Amino acid sequence: MTAARRLLALAVLCALLAGCAPQTKQVERTVFAMDTVLTLTVCGTDRSACQTAADRAVTELSAIDKALSATGEDSFVWALNHANGAWVQPPETWVDALLADALTLCAETGGALDLTAYPAVQAWGFTSGEYRVPDRTELEQLASRIDYRAVERSERQGVRLPEGMELDFGAVAKGYAGDALAAWLRETPGVTSALLNLGQSSIQTIGERPGGGPWRIAIQDPSGEGTLGVLTASDCAVGTSGGYQRYFESDGQTYWHILDPETAAPARSGLASVTVVSPSGLTSDGLSTALFVMGREDAVAWWRERQDFDVLLVEEDGSISLTPGLAESFTPSDPGREVNVLS
């Protein structure tokens, strides 16, 4: 190689290296949707691409919320819940696809996840904030009308619920929204990574954090205000369900928003929180709710059977168990705290 050629090669290499490590731009958006505050962080090589993507993400989140909101009177879910047994057409194909996927998860979890728990959610006051404790007769009646298998889907006619039944997507909507945004964010030129914090309980990570390395996600301690520990994650969804997230107290008892479809009452399974890590946001969100209902033993058995996700379980006595896939990625805030690795 001549000296001139060597110089040229060196110049090209320098240009390539510079091109590989340009300064990362970061754009943040905060939006109120799905009854909570959502924070989106979009990172990439091109600020204007990140801004455009972040704006599109906000618009899409609002559209998802508008279709799935159980309380918004112009939503598909509202129309379905007030159709008195008539067929209702989903406004778009993704709504029907989501319903199909969510109903599959209801079936796979043996009904621990059940979208039709909604009348019970309302009866306890979790939608209005006017909390009350329904009596035993009312709970029996509510429980007798919870059954995801009664939801009918027809390609031609749409969706139908038996009269007196209602459903909501509260347990899966944020996870689904993360999947929907991640799908195109991953393909967007100029965007290299993103962290979608969909109300703390549902987080979607796209790529790695700027500067390299996985994103660091704080897991809340279900027994207090602090953090239980930090979970590292990249290109996956992290969903947490716990009794501490939405609850009220009455006569010294705490009642939370995750209900056992069998009793229509708050699920008391001995678990304080469940965090599920999965490539799918829908799975991590829906499963965290379902495994919380199942309790430790059934949740662990379910994981052993499936093995296609990871889970971190916190029991009411504070003990922590996690699957081997999280052994390296979870660091407890208190280094002395015992962490049991499941097998």
Residues forming contacts to ligand ADP in the complex (CB under 6 A) are: 113-115, 117, 121, 126, 168, 170-171, 201, 241, 245-246, 257-259, 261, 285, 289, 293
- The binder of 205, among Mg ion, ligand ADP, none, by C-beta within 5 to 8 A per type, is none
Note whether 109 binds Mg ion by CB under 5 A: no
Nearest residue to Mg ion, scored by beta-carbon proximity: 289
As a whole number of angstroms, the distance between CA 116 and CA 148 comes to 6
Residue 133 C-beta-side C-alpha neighbours within 13 Å = 12
- Backbone CA torsion sign across 5, 6, 9, 14: negative
Q: Total number of residues binding Mg ion (CB under 5 A)?
A: 5
Nearest residue to ligand ADP, scored by beta-carbon proximity: 170
Is the Cβ–Cβ distance between 190 and 24 less than 8 Å? Answer: no
- The binder of 168, among Mg ion, ligand ADP, none, by C-beta within 5 to 8 A per type, is ligand ADP
Instruction: List all residues 6 or more positions away from 147 whose beta carbon is below 8 Å from its beta carbon.
Output: 111, 114, 116, 165
Note whether 221 binds Mg ion by CB under 5 A: no
Residue 88 DSSP label: B
Tell me the backbone φ, ψ of residue 282, rounded to 5 degrees: -60, -45
**What x/- string results for residues 266 through 295 when contact with Mg ion is judged by CB under 5 A?**
-------------------x--xx------
Note whether 171 binds Mg ion by CB under 5 A: yes
Tell me the backbone φ, ψ of residue 333, rounded to 5 degrees: -60, -40
146-171 in b/e form (b: 16+ CB < 10 A) is bbbeebeeeeeebbbbeeebbbbbbb
- The binder of 114, among ligand ADP, Mg ion, none, by C-beta within 5 to 8 A per type, is ligand ADP
Closest CB to ligand ADP among 55 and 147?
Answer: 147
Closest CB to ligand ADP among 166 and 193?
Answer: 166
Interface ranges with Mg ion (CB under 5 A): 171, 241, 285, 288-289
